[in-house]
Structure 1
């Protein structure tokens, strides 16, 4: 058993309250269990309880065993002096505040329905590769599943939006620069997100803006700063790259860029198909920066997914249509539709939500999330278990919700925070 189970039992009052009393024999009436405290200090604040003849307003602390109180040094911490009731599974120790007064203790071990505990343990003891609630799902209404997936989706979008907001603040409130940085990272498609984040810092938008209308200069400064213009055996006779190298040398000197240029070894090529090589992604990114001068405004105002897909479909520089790596010939296509859809999911939607929160217009959040319903569902090994259990999986809104459900609830076994897990446990709750 974990302590969060006792938190759950107390929060929802899923225990037998018949003749409820403290270990000292004082009758207890719960008038308000309090609110979960996410910060330091007692677990529940604002509780209202009647203990004996006295009505108390204060905090409730939760432990598996009462002896956890001194183990956690609460008897020396003034924050815990506000505790009016210590709720535990097992009362094995008398506990005191900093002034030596006893804290009333309520033990729940004999008041929790065995069926409730069995279901909780069943959720936690399934094999890691199995969804905890898989065997219980036939008992869970479809509406409960749907609402939980929607909740997980919104949490995922809000989390991504919070990262955009932090980036926006770091960049001095410049939404265009925020969009530039977010797109650079996203163009790494996980494998090369970290070096692209470094490149965004090493090549500020202010420099890109000055040269974005000159395709050759833009190409030179992007590939040069990324570390791909150094002469090698493969490129020593490549006159086009030699020209870019000269152009970059001039720009690097002008803007003092050489010290922050990335080394070639910073990039990941291993186990990537040529279409996903970082050089290909840089070519596609360069094409976008050259063809689309107002990134933020375009991504914010695009009416639908089709418009956004067309926005990302910028024609490649001529050299990179025929080379997937410097000096290595091979046909290269424009950014594919599936890649554009990933950029909509990972950049456009959270960017719009972050801006909606910034300007205080929640309707913009709704329209941003609605874009996910226009996109096809992602299908991979992470969503397959949910499809097998007949979760709705018709759009990217569904798949993003399922990914969040798996990562934030199922994998870490956070069943007590999940509406599905809560429904499973409620089948045998005891409330009197």
Structure 2
């Protein structure tokens, strides 16, 4: 028997009979199971229990055996003085209050059906399953899954907002500066995410504002701070950028990130840091007050139009300073904008709305439903289990489900797992 299963049964009151009795034959009626406590202290707070007709308000502690009370040293912890009911699987010893009165004990093994225990064993059986419920999830009611996925996505946004909150602290609550940090990180994609974030954090965002009207200086600032103008090159444009950067470096007392942080290896040419930084510079040259614009717009096509920018002229025929290539516009693609919406814009809008006390996030969910679904191994596996993803809202929620519940074996906190156990 696992203690977390007893917590689950108590929380949902999955008893075979409502006529409960303590080990000393006291009639027990659960008015309220209480609020589960995931920190130190009793397992359930603010419970309301009627014992032999007397209503008690207090806390409930749950153990596999009654003797666990003493093993955990609860008898010397004042946090447990307010326990009104001891819920156990097996009663093997009396537990006393400091007043020497016995704490009523409910022995659950007499009130739990075999089906609940069998469902639990089947769910947690270790037979190399990808997720515990992969045999059951294809037949779970669609409404149960759909409702839970919405909650999962809000959880995911809450997690992402923690990083945004930290950025706000380091930028003195400058939302425009936070947007720049997040965009830079995401323009770096997986390989250059950290170096691009380091580059963006290496100077004050006010400098971007000051030079944004000059496209050449802005590109020189970005490439220079990213450590891409340190090595010599025969390209004339390199010399032009380096000259501009040296001027900015002295004027604003800049220190670039160390050379070599930014990588070209294992990247497709269109994702080379030179191309992505030039696109980022073009974006900020074309759109001052970018944060304000992004917070105001809603239809996805307007986002695509806003990010419809390319590189400076030199990069249309180059990927690096070294060699010339066939001319191409190298504009930001819609699929890349989708990534920005998923990882930057929507989480930032969520945090911004929360900061203003707003709790209606339906517009954000609608926006994400207009974004194409992501493709990765996790989503493909859910697809094979008949959990289809029509849009990015569903793929993001499923990633949260797999990473934060399935992989951590938190089936008893998952609505799908609960549904399996209850049925």
TM-score by length of 1: 0.89
| Residue 31 (str. 1) matches residue 31 (str. 2) | yes
The CA RMSD over aligned residues, in Å, is 2.4
Q: Is the 8 A contact 2:18 2:29 kept in 1?
A: no
Return the offset for 1:65: 3.3
Instruction: Identify the match of residue 423 of structure 1 among 405, 419, 422.
Output: 419
Q: Where do 1:128-277 residues align within 5 Å?
A: 128-232=128-232, 235=233, 237-258=234-255, 261-277=256-272
- Greater relative contact order structure (CA < 8 Å, 6+ sep): 1
User: Cα–Cα, structure 1 residues 380 and 247, in superposed 2: closer, same or farther, change >3 Å?
Assistant: same
SS of residue paired to 1:264 = coil
Return the offset for 1:93: 4.5
SS of residue paired to 1:192 = helix
Q: Deviations over 1:182-231 (max 9, x none)?
A: 21222222332222222222122111111111111111111111111112
Q: Distance in 1 between matches of 2:93 and 2:194?
A: 51
**Which stretch of structure 1 is more off in the superposition, 244-253 or 335-344?**
244-253
Q: Deviations over 1:108-149 (max 9, x none)?
A: 234321221111122122545523222223542222222222
Return the offset for 1:371: 0.6
Q: Distance in 1 between matches of 2:203 and 2:25?
A: 70
Structure 1 alignment gaps of length 5 or more: 428-432
**Which stretch of structure 1 is more off in the superposition, 15-24 or 294-303?**
15-24
User: Cα–Cα, structure 1 residues 370 and 25, in superposed 2: closer, same or farther, change >3 Å?
Assistant: same
Q: Deviations over 1:279-300 (max 9, x none)?
A: 3322221221222112111211
SS of residue paired to 1:48 = strand
Structure 2 alignment gaps of length 5 or more: none
Q: Is the 8 A contact 2:373 2:389 kept in 1?
A: yes
Cross-structure match for 2:366: 370
Cross-structure match for 1:59: 59
Equivalenced residues, count: 421
SS of residue paired to 1:58 = strand
Q: Is the 8 A contact 2:81 2:98 kept in 1?
A: yes
TM-score by length of 2: 0.91
Return the offset for 1:98: 6.1
Q: Where do 1:371-410 residues align within 5 Å?
A: 371-410=367-406
| Residue 87 (str. 1) matches residue 84 (str. 2) | no
| Residue 6 (str. 1) matches residue 6 (str. 2) | yes
Q: Where do 1:45-56 residues align within 5 Å?
A: 45-52=45-52, 54-56=54-56
Return the offset for 1:393: 1.6
Q: Is the 8 A contact 2:278 2:311 kept in 1?
A: yes
| Residue 313 (str. 1) matches residue 308 (str. 2) | yes
Q: Where do 1:324-335 residues align within 5 Å?
A: 324-330=319-325, 333-335=330-332
Q: Is the 8 A contact 2:138 2:386 kept in 1?
A: no
Q: Distance in 2 between matches of 1:81 and 1:44?
A: 13
Cross-structure match for 1:430: none
Q: Deviations over 1:43-75 (max 9, x none)?
A: 211111133464321011223333433343333
SS of residue paired to 1:60 = strand
SS of residue paired to 2:245 = helix
Instruction: Identify the match of residue 407 of structure 2 among 407, 411, 429.
Output: 411
Cross-structure match for 1:338: 335
SS of residue paired to 1:125 = coil
Q: Is the 8 A contact 2:186 2:193 kept in 1?
A: yes
User: Cα–Cα, structure 1 residues 288 and 96, in superposed 2: closer, same or farther, change >3 Å?
Assistant: farther
Q: Is the 8 A contact 2:86 2:106 kept in 1?
A: yes
